[in-house]
A and B are shown apart, each in its own frame.
Chain A
Amino acid sequence: MKDVKQLLKTNRAKISLALRTCAHCSLCAESCFLYRTKGRKSDLVPSHKLINSIGTLHREKGEVTPETLAAIRETAFEKCALCMRCYCPLGVSLPHLISLARQICRIKGIS
């Protein structure tokens, strides 16, 4: 778990900057092929995935319940293909941060 905290600490400024810059405009939605092909569900909007994966881990400082961790895993692995095609008008690097959530899931032993 120390690794998770260290990883979050190392990337804290970057994550915080991304979460603060995200205006929750949902303009990234149309750039996600999963959103467009899987019924346009709101939990497939890239910014939603960012907030509910690395955003949750950042907010909770890595100490999340197994249920929350399972939900983060589902978001980071199954709701995102890391195809790097998501477009944020404010320039937030969404896939890089979602990949960080994946990394933390792997450290915690679920992937």
Chain B
Amino acid sequence: MNIAALYPLASGPLVWFSVTFFFAGCTYQVIHFLRLTRPKPPPAALPTQPVRLVETVLRHTIGFTWPGKEKSLALVSLFFHAVLVLIPLFLLGHNIMLRNAIGLSLFSLPEIVADRLTVLLLLCALFFLLRRLLIRRVRRLTSFYDYWVLGLAIAPFATGFLAYHQILPYQTILTLHMLCGELMLIAIPFTKLSHMIFYFLNRFLLGTEYSAGPGKRTFS
């Protein structure tokens, strides 16, 4: 099959379909979450001791619990997820396509910066993969699905890197890159990648000891 022949489809209708599906799916999940939870009564009183009060306020505003016990993993994870969102949004090539399509674009990162960040992101993914393979407690939790999800998240960046450096047939890799990106957008709301949505809903909206936000809701 000639993948490059799919380029007009991948760069046109599939982009709009996947973006629409992504936003509609995310909206559905937010509504689903709000319907599963209900407003929580406010606490009877805030702590009166100054230190406890500051801790509580910090925890409820900027998230006092971060980065937890495994600081190196937390930092790698934070970097990975931040770059995972920032690169697609602020990549020059994407912004040029966006401007051509709707006449608007976002700020673009210098290409060299985006390229180096992509390499670091792929290294982070390798770290996660090795962690899954080598650490017993993580290996026991891991199923094929987890490798599939990791692959799905990384594929657009790996193919984007190959396309940028024109390592393999350009048109084929570029089309694959678009298809992988579209597949990832479609997968986010309804697979394990939905932790992108539920991280914010769980950590900021639910009122638990580890709430990083107002925590004004609870499961009914």
Of B69, B136, B140, B202, which is within 8 A of A90 by CB? B202
Which of A17, A26, A47, A87 has the most C-beta atoms of chain B within 10 angstroms of its own C-beta?
A26
Interface residues on B, range: 35 or more
Report the minimal beta-carbon distance from B31 to chain A, rounded to whole angstroms. Answer: 12
Give the Cβ gap from B127 to chain A, nearest Cβ, in Å.
Answer: 12
Is B68 interfacial (CB-CB < 8 Å)? Answer: yes
CB of A79, distance to nearest CB on chain B (Å): 13
Q: Give the residue name and chain of the B residue nearest to A40 (CB).
A: B137
Is the C-beta of A1 less than 8 angstroms from some C-beta in chain B? no
Question: Is A17 in contact with B36, judged by CB distance below 8 angstroms?
Answer: yes
Q: In this complex, what residue of B is CB-closest to A92?
A: B202
| Interface flag for B61 (CB, 8 Å) | no
- Among the listed stretches B38-46, B99-107, B111-119, B190-198, which one makes contact with chain A, having 4 or more residues with CB under 8 Å of it? B190-198
Chain A 1-29, CB-CB to B under 8 Å as 1, else 0, gives 00000000000011001001111111101
Q: Are B140 and A48 in contact (CB under 8 A)?
A: yes
In B1-48, the 8 Å CB interface with A consists of 32-33, 36
**How many A-B contacts at CB < 8 Å in the complex?**
91
What's the nearest-Cβ distance from chain B to residue A93, in Å? Answer: 7
A45 contacts which chain B residues (CB < 8 A)?
137, 140-141
**A42 → chain B closest CB, angstroms:** 4
Assign chain A's interface to a size class: 20 to 34
**A–B Cβ pairs within 8 angstroms, 15 of them:** A21-B202, A24-B146, A26-B135, A26-B137, A27-B69, A27-B70, A29-B137, A30-B69, A30-B70, A42-B136, A43-B140, A48-B137, A48-B141, A89-B68, A93-B206
Inter-chain pairs besides A21-B194, A96-B219, 17 sampled, C-beta below 8 Å: A20-B194, A24-B143, A25-B77, A26-B141, A27-B68, A31-B69, A42-B137, A47-B141, A48-B137, A87-B65, A89-B74, A89-B77, A90-B203, A91-B198, A91-B208, A93-B206, A93-B219
Chain B positions within 8 Å of A, measured between CB atoms, are 32-33, 36, 65, 68-70, 73-74, 77, 132, 135-143, 146, 191-192, 194-195, 198-199, 201-203, 206, 208-210, 219
